[in-house]
Structure 1
Amino acid sequence: MRTDFGPDQPGANTKLNPGQAPRWMRRLVSEVSAAHSHPDVRGVDACMTNREGPDRSAAVLILFSGADHFAANPPGNAAVLLTHRSPSMRSHSGQIAFPGGRVDSTDLNPVDAALREAWEETGLDRSTVTPVAEMEPVHIRASGYPVHPVLGHWHTPGDVGVASPAEADDVFPAYVSDLLDPRNRLMVGWAGWKGPAFTINDYLVWGFTAGLLSAMLHQAGWERPWDRGTTLDLQDTLAKSRNNEPRYSDPGNRVRFLR
C-alpha cells in the first residue's frame, strides 16, 4: 500500500478547459449540464443517508482516462477512477465513490477542492489532469449537502493508490467497456427507492456514484441497452459483493424492498 506520493499544488490547474477534452469525450462535455436533469441523477438523493453536521458543499472528481482518437466512442482502455471508502468511515462507509470530499475555505473553487481531495485520497498529481466541465450541484436531499461533480480528463496517467487508508482502502480504474457491458448493469431497490447500479471487480457501485455514471454514459451516447425492468434487492445484492457496507450487513438495519 503506497502512501509516499508527492505534494499537492493548491490553487493550480483550477480552470475548465473544455476545448482540450479528447474527441471521444466532447459530446459528454457538451451535454454534461443536461446530465444533471437525467432521471438517474434526480432520483439518487433518496438513497443518501448522511445526516451528520451542518450543511456544507462537497466536490467529486469524475476522472476519465484514455488517449485521443478520431472515433466518437471511447478507446478500449478508457476508464474512470473510483475508490472504495473504508468500512470504518462514519458516512457512506464501504461504498464505491469518486474521489472527493468537503470544499474547504482555502479552496479556490470546486475544481480546486476536487483535485485536492483526489490527491489526499489517491495521490493524484493534479498537473496530469485537464478539468473540462462542471455539472450543476447535485443537492442531496437526506443531508442537504450540495455536491459539485467536476469532469476531468487524465491526459497523462500516473501512479495512484491508497494515500489515506482511513478514507479509502482501494483505488482502481473502472473500464468504460465494463461499465457499458449489459451484464454488469442492474437496477437495485431498497425501502421504496430504486436506481441503477454496476458490478465492477466484485464491488457494487450504486447510489450517487452509479446515478452520475449512468447519466453520463447516456448523455455521451455510449450507453448500450440493458435490463431496467428487473429490480434486485439492494441488501441482498450488497451481501454478495465485497463492499462490506456496515449499514446493510447489520440484520437490524435490513428493510426489505417491496417489488
Structure 2
Amino acid sequence: MNEPIRRKLEAAPVSSAEFFARSRARLSFDVPAGLIDPNIIPRTGDSGNDRMLEIVAREQPVRPAAVLIPVIDHPEPTVLLTQRSPHLSSHAGQISFPGGKIDATDASPLDAALREAEEEVGLSRDFVEPIGYLDLYGTAFGFRILPTVARVRPGFTLDINEGEVVDAFEVPLAFLMNPENHQIHNKEFRGMERSYYAMPYAERYIWGATAGILRVLYERIYLS
C-alpha cells in the first residue's frame, strides 16, 4: 500500500518546444459528449477511480466543470497549480488546477477555464495560448472535468482570490511527467478499497483528480 508505481514506462526527455508541438498535434477542441450525457461514464484509466465513478454516476446529476492546465514556457517548463481554500465545500485545501463548474454564461469549457483562472489567481488571458482539451475526467463529487492544456507566456503577475485559493505555485513539468513520481495510494470508499494517483512534491501533496489528470497528460503526450 502507498508504494510508488514501478512500471516499464519510460518517457524520453521532451523539450519545451516538443511538448507543445506534441500537444497541438494530439489534442483538439472537440467537446466530448460525456461532459453532459449522464449515460456516458468517463473512463480515467485508473481502475479504482472508474469503479467509484460507476457508483457516483447512478446517484448524482452530471455537473460539468473545466480546468486549465497552465504550462509555463520557461526554458524548463513548469505547471501552475493552486491550493484551494480550506473553507470550500468540495476539495477543500487540496492542490488543484485553476478551474470550476461551467456556468450557463460560458461560451465553452475553454471559456470557463480561462474565466476561472482569471477569477482565482488573476492569470490574464493575454498570456495564455490554449492548445486543446485533454480527456474528460470524473470525480467522486459528481463532476465531469474537461481540462484545457495551455501554453502560458512568462511575465504575468498573479492576484490571488483568497476566498477560493490560498496559494499558487509552480512545479517542474519534468517532475510531473516522470512516471517514477507517479505513486498509487489507497483509501476506503464506501467500504471498498479504491486507488488513486499521488505525486508528492516537496511539502505539496498532489493527489486525486489533479494527479489523475496529470497522469492522463503524461500518457497522451509522452507515450507513443
TM norm structure 2: 0.72
* CA deviation map 1:184-238 (0-9, x unaligned): 4422110111122111231111111101101212332279xxxxxxxxxxxxxxx
Q: 1:43 to 1:219 in 2, by over 3 A?
A: farther
User: Residue 81 of structure 2 aligns with which residue?
Assistant: 82
User: Residue 11 of structure 2 aligns with which residue?
Assistant: none
CA distance in 2, matches of 1:131, 1:27: 14
Indicate yes or no: 2:183 matched with 1:186: yes
CA distance in 2, matches of 1:131, 1:202: 30
Identity %: 34
Q: Identify unmatched segments of 5+ residues in structure 1.
A: 1-20, 68-74, 224-259
Residue 30 of structure 1 and its aligned partner are, at CA, apart by 3.3
CA distance in 1, matches of 2:180, 2:142: 34
User: Residue 198 of structure 1 aligns with which residue?
Assistant: 199
* CA deviation map 1:155-185 (0-9, x unaligned): 34411242x1121101011111332456644
Q: Identify unmatched segments of 5+ residues in structure 2.
A: 1-15, 29-41
Paired amino acid for 1:64: V
Q: 1:105 to 1:189 in 2, by over 3 A?
A: same
CA distance in 1, matches of 2:101, 2:179: 33
CA distance in 2, matches of 1:47, 1:97: 20
* CA deviation map 1:65-119 (0-9, x unaligned): 125xxxxxxx4x2011100111111111111100000111111111110000001
CA distance in 2, matches of 1:46, 1:165: 34
CA distance in 2, matches of 1:45, 1:101: 21
Contact kept in structure 2, 1:102 and 1:113, CA below 8 Å: yes
User: Residue 177 of structure 1 aligns with which residue?
Assistant: 174
Q: 1:126 to 1:135 in 2, by over 3 A?
A: same
Contact kept in structure 2, 1:28 and 1:216, CA below 8 Å: no
Task: Give the number of the structure with larger relative contact order, counting CA–CA contacts within 8 Å between residues 6 or more apart.
Answer: 2
CA distance in 1, matches of 2:27, 2:50: 18
Paired amino acid for 1:39: G
User: Residue 70 of structure 1 aligns with which residue?
Assistant: none
Larger radius of gyration: 1
CA distance in 2, matches of 1:193, 1:43: 5
The count of corresponding residues between Structure 1 and Structure 2 is 190
After TM superposition, list the pairs within 5 Å mapping 1:92-241 onto structure 2.
92-140=91-139, 142-162=140-160, 164-180=161-177, 184-191=181-188, 192-221=193-222
Contact kept in structure 2, 1:64 and 1:78, CA below 8 Å: yes
Residue 147 of structure 1 and its aligned partner are, at CA, apart by 1.4
User: Residue 30 of structure 1 aligns with which residue?
Assistant: 25
User: Residue 229 of structure 1 aligns with which residue?
Assistant: none
CA distance in 1, matches of 2:79, 2:185: 22
TM norm structure 1: 0.63
